[in-house]
Amino acid sequence: MIQDGAVLIRDGILVEVGPSRRVENLAQARGAIEINAAGRVVMPGFIDAHTHLAFPPAGIHAEDSSAAVRAVHTATRQRLEIRTRAYIDAMARHGTTTAEVKTGCGLDAGAEAKLLRVLGALRDEPLELIPSFLLRLPGGLNGGSLQAIEWVVAELLPKIRRRGVSYFADLAWDCNPALLACFDRYMGAARQLGFGLKIHADGESPGAAVGLGAQHHVASIDHMEHATASLAAQVAQAAIITTLLPSGPFSGDGREAPARALIDAGGAVALGSNFNPHDSPMFSMQTVMALACGRLGMSVEEAICAATINGAHALGCADRVGSLEPGKTADLLVLNAGHYGDLEHSLGTNLVHLTMKRGKFIYKEGEVAPLETNDFAPHR
Ligand SMILES: [Zn+2]
C-alpha cells in the first residue's frame, strides 16, 4: 500500500505508480490532467472470475434448463444484447472492469452459437468480457454421452475456435465415474484446439475433477463447495487456482468452500459473483469480498488479491490487468473509503466513486439532487 500515492497514465496504460511527490515531479507528468483522489482509496478494478451473465436468462419461471434454452431461441439477439448490456453497466457501476461469462445451454449448438455471438458483440464495451464455452451434459444421457462428446469435439469446439468467440472451454462437472472418460476426451481435445480449460465443480465429490484438472493443466477449478480440507491441500499442491463464489449459498444449500484450508496450504484463490439473471442476480464484487471475509474466513487483503490479481490469473490476463503496475492497462477504481479495510464490511453498499477502464472513466458517481432545485423531476 502506498500512502499518498499517485499513478501516471498515458494512452490507457499505467506509466508510473508511486508516492505522489515522486510521480508528480516526473518530466512525463508535465501537462498531465490531474484527477484528485485525496482521502480515497485507488485500487485495481475488480475481476469477476465467474459469471453466467447471459444464461439462464431472466424471466423463466421454471427450474428446467430446457425452458432456459427455449428462451434463448425465442429472444432476438438484439434483445439478449440489450438485457445483458444492462447487467454489464451495473457491474461497471460497482467496480468490475473484467468479467468472465459462461454459456451452458447444454448440447444445443444453435443456442450456444447465439449466446456466444451476443457475448462477442459486447466483448469490449465498456468492460472486458472473457467468454467461456460451458459444456453441460444433460442428465440421463449416459448411453449417448460419448457420442455427444464426439460431436462437441468434432463439430462444436472447432467452430467456436474458428470464430474466436470463446477463450475457455469449461466443463460442468458430474461425479458419475462413467463420464470420466468422456470428460477426459473433451478436455484433451479442447486443449489441443488451444482453449484454456476450466472445471465448474459445484456438485458432490469433486475429487476426480481435481485429478483431471491437474492432468490437463486447467486455469481454474470453480465452486468447490463440496471440497474437503484434504482435497484443498491437493489442489494447492497441484498449483491450480480455485475460483470461489461465496454468494452461492443464497441460492445453494449453505455449503461453503474451504477457503481457509486452500490458502493455508499455499493455494491461490480467486473470487467470482456467480451472477446469473435467473436466480442469482448479484453482481457486486464488493459484496462478494465482504462475504469472502465474513463467511469463508478470508482476510480483507486476501479477498482483495482474490478479486483482482488472482482473478486475472484465473482468466489468463494477469499480464494486462489485475494490479496497478507500470505497463499494465489503467483499469482502476477510486473508492469512497479512506482505507481498503472498509471493503470487509461493504455488504449491499457501493463504495465506488469512479471506475476507469483502459484510462477512460466508464462510471462516475452521480449526485443526489436537492429537492428544492430538482431539475430531474418529470412533473413540476
Ligand atoms: Zn457457476
Ligand 1 centroid–CA 244 distance in Å is: 10
- Give pLDDT, residue 319: 98
Is residue 138 over pLDDT 80? no
- Give pLDDT, residue 76: 92
- Give pLDDT, residue 294: 94
- Give pLDDT, residue 379: 59
Least confident of 5-9, 316-320, 351-355, 367-371: 367-371
Is residue 140 over pLDDT 60? no
Mean pLDDT, residues 184-190 taken together: 96
Mean pLDDT of the chain: 92
Mean pLDDT, residues 284-291 taken together: 97
Ligand 1 centroid–CA 273 distance in Å is: 9
Look at 17 and 107; give whichever has higher pLDDT: 17
| 235-280: pLDDT as tens digits | 999 999 999 999 876 666 778 999 999 999 999 999 999 999 988 8
Q: What is the pTM of this model?
A: 0.94
Ligand 1 centroid–CA 370 distance in Å is: 42
Ligand 1 centroid–CA 153 distance in Å is: 22
Could you tell me the pLDDT band of residue 87, with boundaries at 50, 70 and 90? very high
Ligand 1 centroid–CA 354 distance in Å is: 28
Ligand 1 centroid–CA 193 distance in Å is: 24
Least confident of 133-137, 332-336, 360-364: 133-137
Least confident of 162-166, 271-275, 302-306, 336-340: 162-166
Look at 251 and 43; give whichever has higher pLDDT: 43
- Give pLDDT, residue 244: 97
Ligand 1 centroid–CA 137 distance in Å is: 15
Is residue 180 over pLDDT 60? yes
Residue indicated by cell numbers 454421452:
145
Is residue 16 over pLDDT 60? yes
Ligand 1 centroid–CA 177 distance in Å is: 21
Ligand 1 centroid–CA 277 distance in Å is: 12
What is the chain's alpha carbon radius of gyration, rounded to the nearest angstrom?
Answer: 21
- Give pLDDT, residue 203: 85
Ligand 1 centroid–CA 280 distance in Å is: 10
Is residue 380 over pLDDT 60? no
Mean pLDDT, residues 108-115 taken together: 89
Ligand 1 centroid–CA 66 distance in Å is: 17
Could you tell me the pLDDT band of residue 378, with boundaries at 50, 70 and 90? low
- Give pLDDT, residue 262: 97
Share of the chain above pLDDT 90, in %: 75
- Give pLDDT, residue 105: 86
The grid coordinates listed for 208 are 476426480
- Give pLDDT, residue 9: 98
Ligand 1 centroid–CA 334 distance in Å is: 29
Query: What structural domains does the chain harbor?
Result: 1-34 (no CATH), 46-314 (3.20.20.140)
Mean pLDDT, residues 67-84 taken together: 92
